Amino acid sequence: MMRWWLFVVGMVVTLPAHAQLTAPVKNGDLSITVTGTRIPKTKVEMSNWRMAETPHVVVFSENDEKDLRRTAHNLEKLHFLLSALTGRVDAPDETIKLAVTMIGDVATFEQLRLTDLRWQYGPFPKAFAKTVYYDPREEGSVLATTGAGVNVVLQPSDGRPTNRNCFRDDGGYPMDQFVVFSFTGGSTVPGRDPSLDPTTADIAPQLTKNEIAFCQTADSRLYAGFAQNYLMTYSPAAYPRWFLQGFGEIFATMVASDDHVEYGQLPPGFFKVMEHYGDYPVTDILSGRYLSGEGRAWTPYHAWRLVHLLYFSDTLKPRLRTYLDAVANGAYPESAASALGSPAELQRAVNAYRGRAVQAERMTFPVARTPAPTVRRLTRAEAGLIRGRLELGARIDVPAEEGRDRSTALARRAAWLARLRGNASRFPDLIENQLLLAEAECRSGNPPDCLAAADRVIAQAPTDTRALVWKGTALAALAGRAPAVERQPQLERARGFIAKANRADPEGILPLIAYYNSFAVAGTEASDLAVGGLYKVVQSSPAAPGPRLKLGQELIGRAFKDEARSTLLPVAYGPFATPEQPTAAALLPQTVPRGN
C-alpha cells in the first residue's frame, strides 16, 4: 500500500516550497518572500507589524522587534526540546509550520471573538480567562495569543478591580508571584511591578487582605499551546484532553537561555490555586466527567499536577504509555484506566504531589541547533491580512442546527464578508485583499464572487498560484451546479487552473486540496491521483481533522481497513469535539477486518 501511495504522491509533489505570507510554509524552509504584484511607482506604506521566521515557526506581532525575536527564538528552542524528548531530532519533516500571532491585550483578543471549532479551552473556571486560540487547519495550524499576560484573580477585592492585563518584561517565572491587594487611590497599574514602569515606580499600592491574584504570562499560554500542537502534529493520536492540557502546562514554564532550556518547573501560584479550588477526583478525570464543567473546578494546574506526576515518575511513566496506547486504540475509559493501577492509590499520589520539591529538567544543546529568526516589517496591506486570516476558521463554518448559535454565527460571517468586500473595493490594486476575499467567498459558498476576486488578481499577477487555486475552486463549484451535459467540460476547465497552480508550486498544499475537492463538489469518485494528493495533505497537516476524515473514507472504499482505522482514530476519539468527530466515529466499525 505504501508503495502505491508514494508512487501517486511522487507524481504530485517534487520540488521545495517557497514561504509566503498568505500560503502554507513547510518546516525546514526558511525563505521569507511574499509573492504579489502592485502597480509600479505605488508608494508602499509600512505597518507596525513584523514577521519572524525560524525553521519551524512563523510569528506575527506588533511588539517591539527585540521581543518578537526572543519569542520566535524561544519557540524554536522549544521545538528542539520536544524533538529531543520524543526522539525526532533530525527526522524528516514534511509538516507545515505553525503560524503564531500575538494580539494586543486581553480585551483586544476577546473582541476578535475567535470561536474554537476544532479545539476547546478548558473547561476552566472564569478566573482562567481564555487568552489563546488554536485552529488545526488543513492548510496549516494557527495559534494566537495575547501580547500581554492576564491576571488570574482567585479572590477579588471589594475595592477597584485589578487590571486584567499584566506584564513580565523578561518573560520569567518567579516561583510565587501572588499579589494580595486592592487599590483605593493612586494610579499604579494593578498587578504590574512598579519597578518595570518608570511612570508608576514612585507609587506604592495600599495593601488590604481581600484580593488574591497572580500573573499568567503570555509566554506561558504560547508555550503550552505550542507543545499541544507539537504532540498533535508529530504524534497524532486519540489523546484524552486532560493529558494534552497537562503536557502543554509542563512546558508553559520553560525558561530558555542561549544554549539550554529548563522545563517542568512548578507553575506560579500553584499552592494558592490548589488551596482555593481543592483536589480533583482522579476517577472523574479518567472517566471524562471533568469535561462537563460540573462538580469541582478543573484548572490547568490540576492537569499539570497529574501529567507531571505520571510523566516524571519512573514507576508511573510506563503505565502512562500503556494507558495512552489503549486510549489511542479506542479502548473504553474504564478499561484504559486500569493500566494506571488502583484509582485510590493514584488519588493519594496526586494529592501528595504538593508541598515538596518537584522535579524539573535542564537540556543543554549547541547554539547552532536553534538558529535565530529572520525578521522583516510588514506592509500595511500585508498586516491587514492578519486579522482576516485568523478569522477564517472562526467565521467560515457555522453550526448546522437552526437556533441562536447558528443565527449569531451567520450574522458574524456576513459582517466579516462585508468588511473584506469593502477593503477589496477600496484597494482594488492590492492583491492581498483580493486573495483573502477570494478565499473567503469560495469557502463561504459564493463561487461567483470568489471567481471575480480571483480574476482581479490574475489580471495583475497571471501566475499567482493562490489566485489560480481559487479560480479553479470557484469554477468547480459552478460546474457542480451546471446541467449534467455541461458539467464535465466545466470541471476539466476548472481543474486546468488548479493543475497550473500545482505545476507552478509542486510542493503547495492548496492545489492538492482544491483538486480533491473538485471531485467532491461534482459528486464523482475521486481519482487515485486526487486521493494521493489528499494523503499528502494529511502528512503536511496531521492535526487537521477534515483531511483525515476524507482520507479515512477513501481508504475504506479501497479496502485499506487497518490504514483507515489508524487515520480515523485521532478524529473519532480525539481530545476535542469537532464537526468531523461524529462521522469518523460512525465509520470506525467499517474498519474492523472481517473475522475480528
Q: Tell me: the pLDDT tens digits for 353-406?
A: 864 556 789 999 999 999 999 999 999 888 888 988 888 888 888 777 778 888
Q: Bigger pLDDT: 244 or 295?
A: 244
Stretch 55-62: mean pLDDT = 96
Q: Rounded to 5 degrees, what are φ and ψ at 106?
A: -65, -45
573 CB neighbour count, 10 Å cutoff: 20
DSSP 210: S
Cα–Cα distances in angstroms (integers) from residue 132 to residues 53, 100, 104, 216, 265, in the given order: 20, 10, 12, 12, 21
pLDDT for the residue numbered 402: 79
pLDDT for the residue numbered 182: 39
Upper half-sphere CA count for residue 78 (Cβ side, 13 Å): 30
Q: Bigger pLDDT: 522 or 455?
A: 455
Band (515; pLDDT cuts 50, 70, 90): very high
pLDDT of residue 535 exceeding 70: yes
pLDDT for the residue numbered 23: 53
Lowest mean pLDDT among 51-60, 62-71, 114-123, 350-359: 350-359
Contact 138, 537 (CB under 8 A): yes
Mean pLDDT rounded to a whole number for the chain: 85
DSSP 196: G
pLDDT for the residue numbered 42: 59
| Placement of cell 494566537 in the chain | 144
Of the candidates 26, 28, 30, the residue with the CA atom closest to the CA atom of residue 13:
26
pLDDT of residue 27 exceeding 70: no
pLDDT of residue 347 exceeding 50: yes
Grid coordinates representing 551 are: 482520507
Strands (DSSP E) contained in 156-252 are 165-166, 212-216
429 CB neighbour count, 10 Å cutoff: 13
pLDDT for the residue numbered 359: 72
pLDDT of residue 344 exceeding 80: yes
pLDDT of residue 21 exceeding 60: no
- Quote the pTM value: 0.87
pLDDT of residue 345 exceeding 60: yes
* Sequence-distant (≥ 6) Cβ neighbours of residue 65 within 8 angstroms: 50, 375
Cα–Cα distances in angstroms (integers) from residue 400 to residues 155, 225, 392, 405, 407, in the given order: 39, 28, 17, 10, 10
pLDDT for the residue numbered 430: 87
Grid coordinates representing 46 are: 509600512
Contact 509, 537 (CB under 8 A): yes
Band (407; pLDDT cuts 50, 70, 90): confident
DSSP 489: H
Band (29; pLDDT cuts 50, 70, 90): low
Band (24; pLDDT cuts 50, 70, 90): low
Lowest mean pLDDT among 148-162, 175-189, 243-257, 317-331: 175-189
pLDDT for the residue numbered 592: 80
Grid coordinates representing 260 are: 539550554
Q: Bigger pLDDT: 177 or 380?
A: 380
Lowest mean pLDDT among 52-56, 189-193, 334-338, 557-561: 189-193
pLDDT for the residue numbered 556: 97
480-489: list long-range contacts, CB under 8 Å, 24+ apart: 480/521, 480/522, 480/523, 487/522
Measured distance CA(426)–CA(444) in Å, rounded = 21
pLDDT for the residue numbered 7: 33
Grid coordinates representing 30 are: 526558511
Question: Is residue 123 reached through a cis peptide bond, with omega within 30 degrees of 0 on the bond before it?
Answer: yes
pLDDT of residue 178 exceeding 90: no
Cα–Cα distances in angstroms (integers) from residue 191 to residues 119, 163, 209, 352, 509, in the given order: 30, 7, 15, 31, 45
